[in-house]
Structure 1
Amino acid sequence: MHESIPIYFKALFLATVFALLAEFILGFVPILKKYHIPRAFLGGLIALITGPQVFGQTLDLNFISQDIQDSWNELALFFVNIVFACIFLGRKIPNFKTSMKLAIPQASLGQTLAWGQYLIGGLLTLFVLIPFFDLDPSVASFIEISFQGGVGVAVGMDETFKSIGLTDAKSITVALAPLAMLTGILSGIFLINFKNQDKIIRLEQQESNKEVIKISRFQNTFIIQLAIIGIAILLGQLLLDSLYYIESTVLLKFLYNTEFVKYIPFFPLALLGGAILQLLINRFISIEIVNRRTVKQIQTFSLDAVIIMAIGTINLTVIKDNIILVFVLLVAGFLWNISCFLLTYRVLIPNYAFERGVADYGQSMGTTSIGLMFQSIVDKNNKSNGKEAFALKQLLFEPFVGGGLITGLSPLIIHKMGLIYFTGISFALTLTFFLTGYFYNKKNKSQQVD
């Protein structure tokens, strides 16, 4: 009888069970809630411990099959798209000028972190990994692929790695990505508690309790909200298909002869699809049909699912087999991210610097979902407009790094260009993006004074 249940439903059901167990633990262990330990992080750890790599080997208990873990890998990629499709739905879309004021400081921080990862990876490879370990120069791209790109990007890079002879690269980057994410979650939670965000959260909860929300019959229908999210994702797919068509019919014939669009991740286009749909709703539909509260609940569920599934599928064997290299890359990436963030976020972001900047730190340590989780913790009701700023920044960020075009091509670029040139360009771009944000912020502050 149980075989008639599709494996994806089983996988999703198990993820929700782990989320429920985590919620019970948070209720019975108040200190975990006090220090903002996320439910999804705790649920992911439970999934990892009860999986085949821990309980399955030590206690010979098989709670989670390999099919479940394979399904989690696929479902996590799907739910990331839902998270981003929901960001603008039910919100007021800012005009172009306001959008740029929100996006440019955020993008300068994100790009500085990302290109600095290439810079640190290049220096580490030049002076340590090649002389002492005789590794391929393309290893310099592993930090950005695993830290900014995450598990999904690392998995998707397999064919690119194989095309330049790096047969073990996928295993190493897939091992590094979840470790970076775990390090990012722990360090991010420490930073949040160190900054004492409780006062902000309590203030916002008091303000939100005063809001009176009127809900129409359309907004009160759950299936309509799911349909709206589905339409947003469909629009994102149409945008991606359009890019494929333009590249295949025009660009490949007249400008270049290597495919690039296939390296662009889908979720930024899902985000753009949600923004376009919300603009169309605002323009052509006179009644309120999007229930922001319901959309946010769906987004939160999807975000929890992504984190639980990603942590639950960490490959401990691969980590063990490449422990020295993974450890060196993990320490180098973490030291760059934490130092760069702490030294620059106040300089680059004008208002609510920590509330907005911590999202980029979370993204730089693993996945975009972690960044959104941090932003939700420190600014639950989005008083800083951090969600909009982070989402708008993605349009200036994701097409290139963090799983975009440069991320997808970076091993090939290093292979063709040479590591020294690539490291030099990374240094130049890291400095350029920092100075762009610095002078933009300084100019805006001087205009406000005038």
Structure 2
Amino acid sequence: MIPVDEVGSLDTLLFAVAVLGVLILVGVLLRLAASWLRRLVLPAALIGGLVGLALGPHGAGLFGEPLISTWAGMPGVLATVVFAPMLMGVKLPRLRETYDLVAPQLLFGWLGASLMIGVPLIVAAALLAPLWDVNQMFGSLVEVGWPGGHGTAGAMAEVYDGESWSAGASLAQTSATVGLAFGICMGMVLINWGIRKGHVQAHASGSASTRAVDQPDVVPSDGRESLGAVTLKRDLVDTFGFHAALVGVAIIIGWVLQYFIEMVIPGMPLFPLAMIGGGIVQQIISRTPLADTVEPGVFRTIQGVALDFLVVSAVASIDLPVVADNAAPLAVLMAVAAGLALFLFFWVGPRIFQRDWFEQSIINFGTVTGVASVGLMLLRTADPKLATVAGRAYALRAPFFSPFVGGGLITAVIPLLAVEYGALAVGLAFFAGFPVLLVLAKVLGLWRRPVG
């Protein structure tokens, strides 16, 4: 339903957002002051969220339950803002022209999705449920938290709450935090291993972790990038405001789509539908005289601001007692996810990527464990000049992959499918896609002897 009721106290909301801003600033200052935080490449929003968690009712008690409750309701709203511009300001590549680059990346992505979705659901149903009586949706925490990240985890709180599993929101945020930490730390280990073994094309003297920490957090004035060009006269409308208005239209379209889809699929979250709404807005505006006024950099800025506040609010509002009560089954699930990510890197990557296999595998490893930003960070560490095809191939794959998994449409419906048909049946269905995709890769000539 489209919300038309009067909102609560705006002063309360303003105070909650202001405190989140303070936490982000604290995260910035801590990372600038602590070299080990910079070495781990932990974002300021995550650091600030952990500080907020430590100061919350389950820690020092400085922040009370009302403030935490306000924060807990923000991730789902902010996630919609993050996802709405995802397909705006971009053009779909022509597949025939980029087949050699896109096809291996697509197959790797779907092979990874079939495992990261299917195996955790099977493990949760066959092992964790008999031992700890976990919820049918427990196995979805890997897809939601690891490839999906904190943004998707925050958005999926709406789905978990709708299915009477309120613990899912905190567990999904914990899963996302574990995946992010594992992706960054293990990714740096893999890069240093690749350098020693000669797999990294652009390796230089010194370890990868040293090169990463040597990059200053404060960007020098001569290396700063623009947040987006001014495309409309300021006496007409501010460019940022114009793009925010387009995001608003995309969200409205998403609400309309949600209204009709919920007649068939109850509990469908808003964020993937807002992304579709953004694609509709892009297709319409690209055929009008306003086509040249759309600036992708401004959309990315809007997404970045929303994501920072999403992460800090989501992490700071994690329900620690819920996490503690589910620590054992969650630890098993996280170990399974870690093993799957390493299996994809070492076994699938060298066989499906015949060109720059390490760089193409490391960007996917980062994405599988901790969203695209971690994958790009690892790629820049292994390939600082982006001299390999990994970055371009990964970017060309995105329009054909990102709208569906790792926070897309399929991710959104997995918990609903698990409730409707059972986690074991859904897990087996996704896992069955793995051998089918392997056969397809061989038929297409994309599965060969491992390189390196």
TM-score where L is the length of structure 2: 0.72
1:53 aligns with 2:61: no
Letter in 2 for 1:277: V
Identity, in percent, stands at 19
Cα 1:22–1:239 change in 2 (3 A) is: closer
Q: Of 390, 410, 416, which residue of structure 1 is paired with 2:398?
A: 390
Shift of 1:80: 2.0
Aligned length: 405
Letter in 2 for 1:227: F
Cα 1:214–1:113 change in 2 (3 A) is: closer
Shift of 1:55: 0.8
Helix, strand or coil for the counterpart of 2:422? Answer: helix
Q: Of 243, 249, 252, which residue of structure 2 is paired with 1:228?
A: 243
Matches within 5 A, 1:266-305: 266-285=270-289, 288-305=292-309
CA contact (8 A) 1:109 1:434 kept: no
User: Cα deviation per residue 1:146-189 (whole Å; 9 max; x = unaligned)?
Assistant: 555624325522443x5xxxxxx542x33432222121111122
Matches within 5 A, 1:71-86: 71-86=70-85
Matches within 5 A, 1:334-353: 334-348=338-352
Partner of residue 150, structure 1? 153
Partner of residue 372, structure 1? 372
> Comparing 354-363 with 313-322, which one deviates more in the overlay?
354-363
Shift of 1:315: 1.0
Cα 1:108–1:408 change in 2 (3 A) is: farther
CA contact (8 A) 2:46 2:312 kept: yes
Matches within 5 A, 1:18-29: 18-29=23-34
Mark the runs of 5 or more structure 2 residues left unpaired by the alignment: 1-7, 192-207
1:409 aligns with 2:417: yes
Cα 1:375–1:79 change in 2 (3 A) is: farther
TM-score where L is the length of structure 1: 0.73
1:329 aligns with 2:317: no
Cα 1:97–1:9 change in 2 (3 A) is: farther
Helix, strand or coil for the counterpart of 2:432? Answer: helix
Cα 1:344–1:23 change in 2 (3 A) is: same
CA contact (8 A) 1:126 1:137 kept: yes
Q: Of 169, 177, 195, which residue of structure 2 is paired with 1:174?
A: 169
User: Cα deviation per residue 1:343-376 (whole Å; 9 max; x = unaligned)?
Assistant: 33454567776666666655654xxxx5133145
Shift of 1:54: 0.8
Shift of 1:88: 4.5
Shift of 1:111: 3.7
Partner of residue 179, structure 2? 184
Letter in 2 for 1:232: V
Shift of 1:317: 0.8
CA contact (8 A) 2:87 2:282 kept: yes
Mark the runs of 5 or more structure 1 residues left unpaired by the alignment: 57-61, 163-168, 249-258, 445-450
Inter-partner Cα distance in structure 1 for 2:340 and 2:324? 24
Cα 1:246–1:300 change in 2 (3 A) is: closer
Higher helix share: 1
Helix, strand or coil for the counterpart of 2:53? Answer: helix
CA contact (8 A) 2:257 2:273 kept: no
